[in-house]
Structure 1
Amino acid sequence: MNEMSATQWQSDGELAEETRRLVAATETMMAANARHHSDGIENLRLKAIVHELPDFLYVKDRDSRFVFANAVVARSHNFDNAADIAGKRDFDLFDFDLARKYFDVEQEIMSTGVPALDMEEIIPVAGGKPMCRLTSKIPLRNDRGEVVGLIGVSRDITERKRQEDLRRGQSALLEMIARNEPLEMILEALVLLVEAELDGIAGSILLLDRDGTRLLHGAAPSMPGAYSRLIDGTPIGPKVGSCGTAAWRGKPVIVSDVTIDPLWEDFRGVAAEFGLRSCWSAPVLTSQNNVLGTFALYSNTVREPTAHEMEMVALATHIAGIAIERKRGDERIYFMAHHDDLTGLPNRAFLKERMAKTLFQAGRNNRKVTVAYIDLDNFKDINDSRGHAAGDEVLKELAARMANCVRASDMVVRLGGDEFLVVLVHQSSHDAGILRRLRELQKAITRPVSLDGEELLVTSSIGVAAFPSGGSTPEELLANADQAMYRAKELGRNTLQYHSGDGENAVDIPLSEEEELRQAIVGDQLRLHYQLQVEVASGRTAGLEALVRWQHPQRGLVPPGNFIPLAEETGLIIQLGLWVLNEACRQARDWQDQGLNPVTVAVNVSARQFADPDFACHVHEALERHRLDPRWLELELTESTVMQDVDKALGIMARLHRLGVRLSIDDFGSGYSSLAALKTFPFDRLKMDRSLVEALPADKTAVAIASAVISLAKTLKLTVVAEGVESDAQLEFLRWAKCEEAQGYRFAKPLPVDEVVKLLK
């Protein structure tokens, strides 16, 4: 080899030493051939060395025909004898395009005399993956310096290239993880990297759901899409294929034949439909060995995995674990930064991030967005009376209710404390259902909250503003909704107020009957009228029965028959009953403070109010608050109320008796268990039902029953009050039958407070 070629060859850092040795040996061998084999033994020794070399070595003439090739070259082309390759060209060994590429390169080398060093060549291999070789081709000169051919030296670097590609793939995946790219993209790239390393294998990654019960689709780029959809959501368990079982056990599961393995008993048909015969799955684990999902390899042949395949599974599960754990960690950090710790609802930061985008999309699609600013009424009282832990429980319950009231496109945000914001995205530019949805939202808030066996009533004041008329930016919308909410509080709370689009004050939203009644209870619209109870014998005042009325702003004075059933149905009867109890105690004390003679005030108690475990406490608090002696308060209970739960009723009545209040059984004679009630419960008075009184004295049966009731009451030492007395004839009968007291229109209709004062004076 002349000086130039030797110098160029020394620049090769990859195969320099090896190639110099091979070239020297080849030139020596060629020189020996030129001397007509003058030294046969040396020639044979050199040939043996060349044929034992692990690298590819060959010599070609000027026409790129093989003059000599070592045994490795011959075997690569399926020749048993190295001499058989002599005289052949690449056109005889490869397809035309590849052979022409080699030929052009070699002719360029021989025509210019410039070697080509460290060329990477991809050599096709029948029935397998291509081979990658690192090849150097050097011009071969004679004694006169003329190029007479070339020497080629190649080394199989397929495995090295595979390792390099694998390392590059791993590095790329770790960079994707570091850049926080979407998890789906990372997992798909991971599966493709593994598949590129293996023959006839398809990979799949499944992710364990948040509940830890089902496997969800993660990535399966080469698997049939229909199969991936079928197994999406598969539960984990001790006998759920390879993946479901691996996630259940937390250990790899190798199934070499899915058609006979009992783990695949319920999934054989699915596997057969897609030609899957073996499946090897391993759990993807956190650093604390908690299962995150599974990585599986599928083959369409029945076999066990090779050691290399299991190495790739281990590599894939490790990287997948890093990616999934990082993603979930980021999600947790994002969630904590954008959600309220107590309720789990989005917070102000989330609202700020999302609201501008919501309004932009609404404007582009010509849709409206309604925001409802919600403030819970008197919530501080719950914290003060029951503690912040109880208040937190109430907030969590109400937050869940609000979240359940909205659609997926809507948003419920906790702004802080007891303030919330609901963002409703209209389905069209004129969504008529928004008002109905707002009312349903308020109704959900107002349902009693059960806390330690007690029901708490929480109301809300809601201010509403709509985009774009009520504000074109998030800041304007919130400010206007906030203004409307304060207007709702000023109007008595527990109501909805809508901010108009022209910059004026908030305007009223028409209320439903339930909302009107709720507002009446807290908004000073209820009134108590009092019906006189007189002593039959003397005509003197014996007491007063408090009867509630509703002073409606538009409809005037509404009688109880028009709203008590609604109160019973909606649960407002408890709140209404407490108002009546407190107002009656307050008024009774006020009359006494005016110097009027003390008079007993009777209050009706509903079944739901009586069933409240704290009812006796409420009575005690009302008496204490208004400084009323308990003997001037009477509670009227119907027989149906006390007969619902006898033991519980007896306990409550005993506590009431200890307070010193009087108890009367109302509407006696209207049911079938009246006598049993008299026998069982400690009543002080008996109020004979008006249906019995109105038949007196003409109806002989009524006369007999009334007489018997009065006689029985005297025996039991109960005072009898006849209700609904309207005629002199009825009064005369009652006087004759020795009935102590009576009430009805014969004496006076229910009177407002000022007229009662005149009567008492």
Structure 2
Amino acid sequence: MSGALITAYRSFNKILKHLPVEGSLPEMLLRVIELTETTFNDRQTSILLFDKNKKKFMPFTNKNRNKTCRERFMINPAKIHFENVCSKKKIIISEHITTSNEYREYYSLKTINDLNSCYGLPIISSRNNVLGIIYSHCSQNSMLSDDEYELLEMAATVCSIAIENNIKQQELNHFASYDYLTNIWNRRAFYRHINKAIKNIKLKNEYIALYYIDINNFKNINDQYGHRFGDRVLRKYASKLQKFTNDKTGVARLGGDEFIIYSEVHTQIEANIKKMAILSELNHIEIDDIIVTASIGTYYIHASNIKDVNIDCMINHADMSMYKKKHLFHL
């Protein structure tokens, strides 16, 4: 093994050691690119990431270094067939990129970077799924040397670990903030976001409005129609309430059949209009010919009246308002 590869191995290990601390995928991938290029300075490196939602490969760009990453990018992702990459899972060769028509839009980059061919390896996950492709670009139509190929394999492995770590971290963050059944905020996330909203209205001299929603006779619904039907009701209500979310309004499930909404509003009139809109959305929900209703309680507070903020106290006020409405419902 050459001295350059030994140095590269050590550098890649340093990247992996910092992964749990730094954790930023763009920074990790950029360090892989820079390390690969430093080891063999006659080549340039680019990375394509597979977007599961769009079902295609997208060029990796770092927002802070967008220009640099874009100039490294030499492959047209529209020309890469995911099925072919998945089936081969081996080196991908794209030669003569400055004379082939499919790379016509990249011809100008030859003048900038003097690149003429490229070789890529799929970035494979621990479950053998394709996460992306890492490319090495060269000015000559020459195959990769053994050292260069090994370096590219190392880089692909480190990319795979970084990408999978990022996916797991996103999943953990989601589970920590979102209700597992309804996929809206849980109590912890609600408290975090309403604290930010309270700080915001203090700057703007506005109101915070709380809307506490409770499904009427939910226990009876569960007992009579079963918990699966009850879960469908909860998901239906969550999807209805989620329509109100925006940068000034947040929705959460506090637990059981209890939901809460906060909203930043200019006036109490605006808060009442929003309340009526919520009531209108929840007024008549029908699932399998069964009508389900809900009660809503409200609490408004102006920025000037918020001293030492007690969110639990605010929620309790809205809760008590809701129970008054529920009592009228049963009369």
Task: Note the C-alpha offset of 1:255.
Answer: 0.6
Aligned residues of 2:118 and 2:137 also touching (Cα < 8 A):
yes
1:334 to 159, 167, 173: 173
2:292 alignment partner in structure 1: 457
Change in Cα spacing, 1:244 to 1:384, as seen in structure 2 (3 Å) is same
Change in Cα spacing, 1:204 to 1:226, as seen in structure 2 (3 Å) is closer
1:296 alignment partner in structure 2: 135
Task: Note the C-alpha offset of 1:418.
Answer: 0.7
Give the secondary structure class of the aligned counterpart of 2:190: helix
1:580 alignment partner in structure 2: none
1:438 to 271, 275, 286: 275
1:358 to 174, 192, 197: 197
Whole-Å separation in 1 of the counterparts to 2:264 and 2:72: 34
1:274 alignment partner in structure 2: 109
Aligned residues of 2:125 and 2:160 also touching (Cα < 8 A):
yes
Whole-Å separation in 2 of the counterparts to 1:244 and 1:184: 22
Task: Note the C-alpha offset of 1:482.
Answer: 1.8
Whole-Å separation in 1 of the counterparts to 2:192 and 2:160: 30
What does residue range 378-389 of structure 1 map to in structure 2 within 5 Å? 378-389=217-228
Q: Kindly indicate which of the two structures has a greater share of residues assigned to helix.
A: 2
Residue 394 (1) aligns with residue 233 (2): yes
Match for 2:151: what amino acid? Answer: M
Task: Note the C-alpha offset of 1:305.
Answer: 3.3
Task: Note the C-alpha offset of 1:388.
Answer: 0.8
Give the secondary structure class of the aligned counterpart of 1:414: strand
Aligned residues of 2:201 and 2:303 also touching (Cα < 8 A):
no
Task: Note the C-alpha offset of 1:345.
Answer: 1.6
Q: Percent identity?
A: 23
Change in Cα spacing, 1:193 to 1:224, as seen in structure 2 (3 Å) is closer
TM-score (norm 2): 0.81
Task: Note the C-alpha offset of 1:290.
Answer: 1.5
Whole-Å separation in 2 of the counterparts to 1:374 and 1:190: 50
Task: Note the C-alpha offset of 1:287.
Answer: 0.9
Deviations along 1:63-95, whole A, 9 cap, x unmatched?
Answer: xxxxxxxxxxxxxxxxxxxxxxxxxxxxxxxxx
Change in Cα spacing, 1:413 to 1:217, as seen in structure 2 (3 Å) is farther
2:329 to 492, 509, 516: 492
Aligned residues of 2:32 and 2:155 also touching (Cα < 8 A):
yes
Whole-Å separation in 2 of the counterparts to 1:372 and 1:381: 24
Match for 1:320: what amino acid? Answer: C
Task: Note the C-alpha offset of 1:178.
Answer: 2.5
Task: Note the C-alpha offset of 1:301.
Answer: 4.8
Residue 214 (1) aligns with residue 52 (2): no
Aligned residues of 2:46 and 2:134 also touching (Cα < 8 A):
yes
Whichever of the two has the greater Rg, that structure is 1
1:688 alignment partner in structure 2: none
Match for 1:417: what amino acid? Answer: G
5+ residue gaps, structure 1, are 1-158, 235-239, 494-522, 524-761
Match for 1:241: what amino acid? Answer: K
Change in Cα spacing, 1:215 to 1:491, as seen in structure 2 (3 Å) is farther
Change in Cα spacing, 1:356 to 1:197, as seen in structure 2 (3 Å) is same
Residue 241 (1) aligns with residue 76 (2): no
What does residue range 121-140 of structure 1 map to in structure 2 within 5 Å? none
Give the secondary structure class of the aligned counterpart of 1:406: coil
Task: Note the C-alpha offset of 1:194.
Answer: 0.9
Whole-Å separation in 2 of the counterparts to 1:250 and 1:432: 63
Whole-Å separation in 2 of the counterparts to 1:247 and 1:418: 47
Change in Cα spacing, 1:470 to 1:382, as seen in structure 2 (3 Å) is farther
Aligned residues of 1:412 and 1:423 also touching (Cα < 8 A):
yes
Give the secondary structure class of the aligned counterpart of 2:210: strand
Match for 1:443: what amino acid? Answer: S
Match for 2:317: what amino acid? Answer: N
> Could you say which structure has the greater relative contact order, defined with CA pairs below 8 angstroms and 6 or more residues apart?
2
Aligned residues of 1:284 and 1:318 also touching (Cα < 8 A):
yes
What does residue range 6-17 of structure 1 map to in structure 2 within 5 Å? none
Whole-Å separation in 2 of the counterparts to 1:378 and 1:226: 58
Aligned residues of 1:202 and 1:223 also touching (Cα < 8 A):
no
2:45 alignment partner in structure 1: 203
Give the secondary structure class of the aligned counterpart of 2:329: coil
Match for 1:194: what amino acid? Answer: T
Aligned residues of 2:297 and 2:320 also touching (Cα < 8 A):
no
5+ residue gaps, structure 2, are none
Change in Cα spacing, 1:384 to 1:296, as seen in structure 2 (3 Å) is same
Give the secondary structure class of the aligned counterpart of 2:134: strand
Task: Note the C-alpha offset of 1:348.
Answer: 1.4
Aligned residues of 2:207 and 2:301 also touching (Cα < 8 A):
yes
Whole-Å separation in 1 of the counterparts to 2:105 and 2:268: 46
Aligned residues of 1:278 and 1:301 also touching (Cα < 8 A):
yes
1:181 to 19, 23, 33: 23
Give the secondary structure class of the aligned counterpart of 1:336: helix
Whole-Å separation in 2 of the counterparts to 1:419 and 1:394: 12
2:303 to 441, 464, 468: 468
2:13 alignment partner in structure 1: 171
Whole-Å separation in 2 of the counterparts to 1:336 and 1:225: 32
Change in Cα spacing, 1:388 to 1:280, as seen in structure 2 (3 Å) is same
Change in Cα spacing, 1:308 to 1:442, as seen in structure 2 (3 Å) is farther
Task: Note the C-alpha offset of 1:286.
Answer: 1.5
Whole-Å separation in 1 of the counterparts to 2:299 and 2:139: 62
Match for 1:271: what amino acid? Answer: Y
Whole-Å separation in 2 of the counterparts to 1:260 and 1:174: 39
Aligned residues of 2:190 and 2:251 also touching (Cα < 8 A):
no
Match for 1:412: what amino acid? Answer: V
Change in Cα spacing, 1:223 to 1:448, as seen in structure 2 (3 Å) is same
Task: Note the C-alpha offset of 1:371.
Answer: 2.5
Whole-Å separation in 2 of the counterparts to 1:231 and 1:430: 54
Please give the root-mean-square deviation of Cα atoms over the aligned residues, in Å. Answer: 3.4
Aligned residues of 1:243 and 1:281 also touching (Cα < 8 A):
no
Task: Note the C-alpha offset of 1:420.
Answer: 0.8
Change in Cα spacing, 1:297 to 1:359, as seen in structure 2 (3 Å) is farther
Task: Note the C-alpha offset of 1:217.
Answer: 4.8
TM-score (norm 1): 0.38
Change in Cα spacing, 1:216 to 1:487, as seen in structure 2 (3 Å) is farther
Match for 1:468: what amino acid? Answer: A
Match for 2:183: what amino acid? Answer: G
Task: Note the C-alpha offset of 1:478.
Answer: 1.7
Whole-Å separation in 1 of the counterparts to 2:105 and 2:178: 42
- Greater shift in the superposed pair: 367-376 or 205-214: 205-214
Aligned residues of 1:356 and 1:473 also touching (Cα < 8 A):
no
Whole-Å separation in 2 of the counterparts to 1:230 and 1:437: 51
Whole-Å separation in 1 of the counterparts to 2:272 and 2:70: 44
Change in Cα spacing, 1:202 to 1:430, as seen in structure 2 (3 Å) is farther
Aligned residues of 2:198 and 2:208 also touching (Cα < 8 A):
yes
Change in Cα spacing, 1:242 to 1:273, as seen in structure 2 (3 Å) is farther
What does residue range 507-586 of structure 1 map to in structure 2 within 5 Å? none
Change in Cα spacing, 1:166 to 1:229, as seen in structure 2 (3 Å) is closer
Aligned residues of 1:338 and 1:349 also touching (Cα < 8 A):
yes
